[in-house]
Amino acid sequence: MSSTIQSDPHASYRSVWSTKPILRLVYEDYYRRIAAACVAGETIEIGGGIGQLKNFIPAAISSDIQHSPMVDVVADAQNLPFGSGAISNIVMLDVLHHIEFPVLFFREAERVLRAGGRCVMIEPAITPGSTVFYRLIHPEPVRMRATPFVEGLPNPERDPYDSNQAIPTLLATRDRLQFERLFPNLEFVEVSWFSFWVYPLSGGFKRWTLMPASLGRRVLAFEKRIESALGRMLGFRTMIVLQKKSA
């Protein structure tokens, strides 16, 4: 392994980002959605990775479990190094489904958010339209029988890319009532479902793509017009926004 990869585990992702316009088109839409859902105040990004959120929220503090040049703070989402009630927004893109014990993260989010503060997440959505792709084509597993509320001691040797793509969908649907009982100070203020064709055809962070950016821009605009009607059936993405209740 080269010294560059050792010192920067996100180098290969940034390389693809810089050379793939369709990828930037897709993820810039995600970042805009996240920025629009935030409230005023200090913003912490969990899983900052390649550091693109700052193009949309310049003052955001980027954190990641792995050190890289684009990260401001190295931290585990299950043990955040921030004071209680100190943060206005916690934002995450494709992170929740990688966290070993999501219940530990939500406990920390409940602690560090101020009253009225938000946790804004965009994650894979397991829907009738996306399930074949996520189960058979995407490399990460989908375990719909899992529970998001298992609790344990985080393993420092665990691969940070281990995952279960079903976790966000389970939290927003089947296990939502249980979540609300466990975290009574966190309320759902938005669950939206979107992203139909451009994302899977883009190839994500792979080098290949089945859709040029010129076509992707037009298709993405069409997707936005129909997402409120068809998102729950066809969407590949969900945005979950939680807000800490006032005292």
For residues 139-149, b (16+ Cβ closer than 10 Å) or e, as one string?
eeebeeeeebb
Q: What's the pTM value of the predicted model, to 2 decimals?
A: 0.95
Q: Can you say whether the dihedral through the CA atoms of 187, 190, 196, 202 is positive or negative?
A: negative
Lookup: tokens for 182: 């466990």
pLDDT at site 2: 38
- How far apart CA 5 and CA 234 sit, in angstroms, is 37
Q: Is 229 exposed, middle or buried (0-12, 13-18, 19+ CB in 10 A)?
A: exposed
146 φ, ψ (degrees, to nearest 5):
-70, 160
- How far apart CA 97 and CA 192 sit, in angstroms, is 17
The CATH classification number of 3-244 equals: 3.40.50.150
Tens-digit pLDDT string for the chain (247 aa): 333 445 677 889 989 999 999 999 999 999 999 999 999 999 999 999 888 999 999 999 999 999 888 899 999 999 999 999 999 999 999 999 999 999 999 999 999 999 999 999 999 999 999 999 999 999 999 999 999 999 999 999 999 999 999 999 999 999 999 999 999 999 999 999 999 999 999 999 999 999 999 999 999 999 999 999 999 999 999 999 999 998 6
pLDDT at site 4: 40
pLDDT at site 58: 96
Q: How far is CA 61 from CA 132, 134, 234, in A?
A: 36, 31, 33
Count the helix, strand and coil residues of the chain and give each as a percent rounded to the nearest 5: 40, 20, 40
pLDDT at site 206: 93
- How far apart CA 9 and CA 88 sit, in angstroms, is 29
Alpha-helical runs (H) found in the chain:
3-7, 11-19, 21-37, 102-112, 131-132, 167-172, 176-182, 198-202, 213-234
